[in-house]
Structure 1
């Protein structure tokens, strides 16, 4: 489904796009009252809203980059809802007596992109054997269990387990250090190699620094030594990826939001030449186009099964897991973790006593 935003031609001509970005016009349940960049948004209930009126007259959306501060604010009563709670902090919230956590599988798949298309220049990941070795090097099941506290659903490819076309018959790579070393030697890297690894903050992926550290440690066991480059803010990080200025390996996850369909990730992230794709395979492109131009859902699922087999065998990425989102919620309100990651503040209601 395509989502389009309709804007006033008259206002655009008179005020320009920049003005529109800072003075949004909409028909939702809340109106923007005040916006302080990188600090907060203040919303007021729209009494002319066509649908059910929100329970709260005002909503304050605060920008708090540090997760420790978010949790402290939740427990002290400074905020009522936070997202992307680190798994190792869930007990802190649940035992506080003033807040709880809510968790749900979400339509987001986590992976490490590998620059098979050589957008960053010549690199070892253009060789399939190296990509396979990287997948065999990492014990993802142990990371899910011990670092994520079970908050991840192991995947064999990039397609989310809840999406149409997901192929459950494909079994994920399992750690095999000896096989990984053998593949690296066959590819001409008997002593391994060093590679750049672009990382970002845990804005949408809980415990991202910890899981990436564990993955790097496993890669080092087979000789793949990572050189970390950290860009904490999402915007600058995504811009680097979009502009082809990432490293040969970088953290990535893709949210489907409300689209329960494999195409939600395949076209934008895996098709040759797309802004966020560092992978190119013409055979895959043909299948992606075939899938999105076929109406019969059963046939589409069959096409996407072939797509996933190809992605898996070519080790297009280092495959991680389908994410489980964790929200921290004050005992003062009723709210549950949304599967599509979209926080709808008009659904937050006072807790019934």
Structure 2
């Protein structure tokens, strides 16, 4: 692809291939990426092909972006790659091996499970914004790319405060800061679940501005004590994908069900959805929500694939959006050694 110059010299937006003109991805997308210990205790990364209900394992030692750098996958499929030793960052497409160079992110560390999202497709002529919501602290990192927004500012750290809520513990309850976890980009703004009845909205003018949108909570099954919920943009609409949980103070968790809802902006209500056609939502624990074409990817149409609910992060839960079907799988059982939570890798052009 041709190189595109932005209006500031320190941030050159360039589309480039990785080590070769095109590097074939080892397994079909979408897939799961699992970091784990090798036979000798060395860090390894394995790709899981989940298509057609089967789980095939492929090492990715030849893909430096996955093996040797910290990374965060966006709902748009692009992967933000960061080298903590050199502070270099870029966006990478696993589908085409294209890269977009970004400024250096000079910080000590950013949590590996942080949420990451783009305000628009990187091919947008108007520019776009990359946001990383750190899961260790109430902090976001953001970077404007192209266009006229904050030209030359590079990565910026911004602290935010959304209030607190209380969680049950064995001794009673304890206060916890509300944090930005899952994010969805819709019409240039970032949406996230602030509370059961509030939708958080992050937008940028000269500085980040966070506001709230009052939206009544969805009905939850009897016995629900907690939920996992994420906003996902699909076909120019904003959806809520939710899983309803029962947790006791002994940290055992049961999944009571799931639901999909479309936001009616005019009425400020979530409308129950029975079908998303030949697509599937793919969700990750606490920091990722996206979608992909289903049949062509070997997934079941009109389903939600949710990796990591409750306290067992290694199980894959599959909900039927209509009909109430529900299955649980353990795709990581063929991986030896200790491993971290699996994350999704999506095509950049679903």
Task: Give the TM-score category using the shorter length.
Answer: under 0.3
Higher relative strand content: 2
**TM-score in terms of structure 1 length:** 0.24
Q: TM-score normalized by structure 2?
A: 0.24
Is the helix fraction higher in 1 or 2?
1
Rg larger in structure: 1
- The structure whose RCO (Cα within 8 Å, separation 6+) is larger is 1
